[in-house]
Amino acid sequence: MVDQRTLAYINLYAVLGTLENLCELDPAADALLTNKKPISIGFEIKGGPSATLTFKNGRCRMEQGVEDCDVKLPFSSCEKFNGLLDGTVTPVPSKGFAHIKFLLKEFTPLTDLLAKYMRPNPEDLKDEEFFRISTTLMFYTIAVAIAQIANNDKVGKFTANLIVDGDIEMSIVNGPAATLRAKNGRIVALKRAPENPRAIMRFESIQLARDLFDGKINAVATIGTGKITMKGMISMLDNLNRLLDRVAFYLA
């Protein structure tokens, strides 16, 4: 069974957090925010995470906490917040009613655009640029989701405790890269390559990464072909693969 608290962490930091990258990659997202006054939206989930998305100069930045947000969206439970992502819950701001227009005219279209990339129409994926953006966004979402599962999911925490301290590189050749920093049984995801990784998981191409993310190919079998490079401390990579399996469970 999906743990709703873990899912809330994934939905906030991994899914909504990917708005940072969407605004960098798609001019349409940039255009929704350009020439707008800076504004920040805080998400406060009882019994779960809290974070603020700040929109400024066509870009987006997520930070933990809701102390300085212009608009605050409170949720009485992790289940309620998860309902926001699946479209069954409409939040009511506890702060910033004057900014309702931004929520309706800019923020909602922005999340709709993200959903278009994250759950794409097969026809859209035939466009090379759409495919690149969609797969890049999926890559970052998965990287951050790994950390949330490692730190919150019961099975994930057990696995994370088996990972020695150090940085793991997860990357796509000529594409995005992420650092999964393990320390004291917890993992932090950084959306950049590590300087001195103890282990590396590198996909040969963006097409290969996409096929793996979509479940079209088997990771173990692909490693045997050399299309996925795995080197360094193998125990770290074995446990990373276990966490990836949990990501598929939560993001299916």
Coil/strand/helix, residue 40: strand
Under a CB-based contact definition with an 8 Å cutoff, are residues 132 and 24 in contact?
A: no
Under a CB-based contact definition with an 8 Å cutoff, are residues 167 and 194 in contact?
A: yes
163 pLDDT band, cuts 50/70/90, is: very high
The model's pTM is 0.95
Under a CB-based contact definition with an 8 Å cutoff, are residues 77 and 3 in contact?
A: no
Where are the chain's structural domains? 4-118, 124-251
Tell whether the model's pLDDT for residue 93 goes beyond 90: yes
3-state class percentages of the chain: helix first, strand second, coil last, to nearest 5:
50, 20, 25
pLDDT for 98-142, tens place per residue?
Answer: 999 999 999 999 999 999 999 999 999 999 999 999 999 999 999
Both tokens of 135, joined, read: 């797969």
State the chain's mean pLDDT as an integer.
Answer: 94
φ, ψ dihedrals at 151, nearest 5°: -95, -15
Tell whether the model's pLDDT for residue 223 goes beyond 90: no
φ, ψ dihedrals at 75, nearest 5°: -130, 130
* C-beta atoms surrounding 115 within 10 Å: 13
Q: Give the residue carrying structure tokens 């708005």.
A: 19
Under a CB-based contact definition with an 8 Å cutoff, are residues 39 and 71 in contact?
A: yes
Q: Give the residue carrying structure tokens 């020695």.
A: 164
Nearest alpha carbon to residue 65 among 45, 42, 94: 42
Give the model's pLDDT for residue 240: 95
Give the model's pLDDT for residue 55: 95
What is the rounded average pLDDT of the residues 84-106?
Answer: 91
Which class in CATH covers the domain with range 4-118? Answer: alpha beta
Between β-strands 228-232 and 199-203, what pairing exists: parallel, antiparallel or unpaired?
Answer: antiparallel
Both tokens of 150, joined, read: 């490692």
The amino acid present at 154, given as its one-letter code, is K
Tell whether the model's pLDDT for residue 239 goes beyond 90: yes
DSSP 168: E
Q: Domain 124-251, what fold?
A: Nonspecific Lipid-transfer Protein; Chain A (3.30.1050)
176 pLDDT band, cuts 50/70/90, is: very high
What is the rounded average pLDDT of the residues 177-193?
Answer: 98
What is the rounded average pLDDT of the residues 143-158?
Answer: 97
What is the rounded average pLDDT of the residues 150-168?
Answer: 97
> Does 4-118 match 124-251 in CATH topology?
yes
